[in-house]
């Protein structure tokens, strides 16, 4: 009986195999089925890979301890282990920083729980002891090999911790800035420097120790909220120097001036960036006049852009510029080694025609046109021609050799020109004294 049952079982299995073979099909068991592709979510606010940025030789700007500091740190660690403590702590230091260890909320910083800020010079034994102490307070046994671009900035090597604004954050920041200036928009909650409070933070730096960098901002690996962007704008910008109605009046005045002197359509779109400050904070050396500054773009995307400022006491243009053709900086491949004579009289004629076409009076106020020098427009070689008016104002017209046309025009009024000349003359005199 047992033998019969065994034969029946064997015959049954053979019949099933034959049937499956005849149909040329194979049934895949669930455990052997192919797994679906794993799709990882891409975080558009993830930290940028800065490793390639540090491939060159950057003395005291590479995020690492130097060979000498590594050698001396073991001694500092021994002193700390034996009970010695520094006079002050660098843990979460946010003001006038030379060396600091900043705690980070790991869930917002891709797992990083600290960020090290190091100077553009060799650290002292005291600072190395402070370093051992800061890590000791966090319960971390520090190894210099732990330091990398992902958790350290040295000597002003980067301006932001691990990432900068994304495009949409920049657009929202600009929009919020306009509301800050024009509508009195202010943050609901005050900005706090500590990164551990909400993931956003800021430290002020000793500029000499960080190659001129005065502050360092911590952006988390997530989308910044409008409130956070408003906090940052308020942190970085002084209170507006004029009331909203005054700003509107200044805008109307600069629109008219740029229309009359630089051919700007009254329909041009103003950017959200505008400010009131002394002219010498822009590019007018020694000029103490208070100016209203902003920029415009032409409707229709022609590429023409205007920027500049007016004297708020007179409503007259102090300085301005217009980009007539933006190919010289929008096309990265725009390189020209064409050489021509910068003193060719045809450049002067092109400059006169260009300025005449921009001015409301069609050039009636022009009194002189003269070739000034050979100049550049990014990587393009150009001739600079200067056009003077009967009011002492000057247009600087740059004509690219490759196109034989004006690409950009700068304007300065007579006072701005005088201030600039005085500045350069004083610099030449100073250099002459030094040479003597």
Tell me the C-alpha to C-alpha distance, in Å, between residue 347 and each of 70, 107, 273, 383, 401. 61, 60, 34, 7, 9
Strand (E) or helix (H) holding 169:
helix 167-182
Q: Region 198-223: what's the mean pLDDT?
A: 95
Segment 176-187 mean pLDDT: 87
Please say if the pLDDT value at position 23 is more than 60: no
Whether the per-residue pLDDT at 7 is higher than 50: the answer is no
Gap between the Cα atoms of 213 and 224, Å rounded: 23
Q: Which residues contact 85 (CB under 8 A, 6 or more apart)?
A: 133
pLDDT of residue 92 exceeding 90, the answer is: yes
Given a contact cutoff of 8 angstroms between Cβ atoms, the answer to whether 306 and 296 are in contact is yes
- What is the overall mean pLDDT for the chain? 86
226 near 235, Cβ under 8 Å?
no
Distance CA(360)–CA(255), nearest Å, equals: 13
Q: Quick one: pLDDT band at residue 6, thresholds 50, 70, 90?
A: very low
Give the Cα separation of 194 and 102 in Å (integer): 8
Q: Which of 247, 243, 301 is nearest to 272 (CA)?
A: 247
- Please say whether the beta carbons of 163 and 221 come within 8 A: yes
Contact 63, 154 (CB under 8 A): yes
Q: Which helix (H) or strand (E) holds 262?
A: helix 244-262
pLDDT in tens, 109-118: 999 999 999 9
pLDDT for residue 384 is more than 90:
yes
Can you give the pLDDT at residue 210?
94
Residue 38 clears pLDDT 90, i.e. is over it: no
- Please compute the mean of the pLDDT values over residues 45-62 and round it to a whole number: 82
- Cβ 155 vs Cβ 210: under 8 Å: yes
pLDDT the model gives residue 41: 60
Q: Which of 81, 196, 203, 73 is nearest to 143 (CA)?
A: 73
Residue 216: count other Cβ atoms within 10 Å of its Cβ.
23
Q: State how far the Cα of 96 lies from the Cα of 179, in Å rounded to an integer.
A: 31
| pLDDT for 106 beyond 60 | yes
311 DSSP β-pair partners: 291
């Amino acid at each position: 009986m047992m033998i019969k049952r065994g034969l029946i079982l064997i015959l049954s299995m053979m019949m099933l195999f034959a049937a499956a073979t005849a149909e040329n099909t194979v049934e895949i068991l669930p455990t052997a089925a192919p797994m679906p592709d794993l799709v990882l979510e891409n975080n558009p606010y993830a930290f940028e890979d800065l490793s390639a940025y540090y491939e060159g030789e950057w003395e005291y700007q590479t995020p690492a301890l130097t060979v000498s500091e590594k050698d001396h740190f073991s001694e500092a660690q021994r002193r700390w282990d034996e009970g010695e403590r520094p006079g002050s702590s660098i843990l979460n230091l946010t003001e006038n920083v030379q060396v600091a260890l900043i705690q980070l909320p790991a869930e917002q910083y891709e797992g990083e729980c600290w960020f090290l800020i190091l100077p553009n010079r060799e650290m002292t034994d005291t600072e190395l002891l402070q370093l051992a102490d800061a890590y000791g307070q966090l319960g971390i046994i520090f190894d210099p090999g732990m330091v990398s671009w992902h958790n350290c900035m040295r000597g002003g090597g980067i301006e932001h911790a691990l990432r900068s604004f994304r495009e949409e954050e920049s657009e929202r920041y600009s929009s919020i800035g306009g509301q800050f200036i024009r509508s009195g928009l202010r943050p609901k909650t005050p900005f706090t420097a500590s990164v551990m409070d909400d993931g956003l933070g800021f430290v002020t730096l000793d500029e000499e120790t960080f190659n001129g960098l005065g502050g360092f901002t911590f952006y988390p690996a997530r989308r910044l909220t409008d409130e956070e962007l408003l906090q940052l704008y308020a942190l970085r910008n002084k209170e507006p120097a004029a009331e909203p109605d005054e700003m509107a009046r200044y805008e109307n005045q600069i629109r008219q001036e740029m229309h009359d002197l630089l051919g700007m359509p009254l329909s041009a779109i103003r950017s959200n960036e505008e400010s009131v400050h002394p002219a010498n904070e822009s590019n007018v050396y020694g000029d103490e006049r208070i100016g209203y500054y902003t920029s415009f773009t032409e409707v229709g995307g022609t590429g023409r852009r205007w920027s500049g400022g007016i004297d708020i006491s007179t409503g007259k243009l102090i300085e301005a510029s217009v980009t007539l053709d933006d190919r010289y900086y929008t096309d990265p491949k725009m390189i020209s080694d064409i050489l021509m004579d910068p003193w060719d009289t045809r450049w002067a004629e092109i400059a006169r025609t260009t300025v005449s076409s921009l001015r409301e009076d069609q050039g009636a106020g022009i009194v002189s046109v003269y070739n000034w020098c050979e100049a550049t427009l990014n990587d393009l070689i150009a001739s600079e021609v200067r056009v003077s008016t009967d009011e002492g104002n000057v247009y600087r017209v740059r004509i690219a050799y490759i196109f034989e046309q004006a690409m950009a025009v700068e304007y300065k009024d007579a006072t701005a020109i005088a201030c600039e000349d005085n500045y350069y003359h004083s610099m030449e005199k100073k250099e002459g004294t030094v040479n003597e």
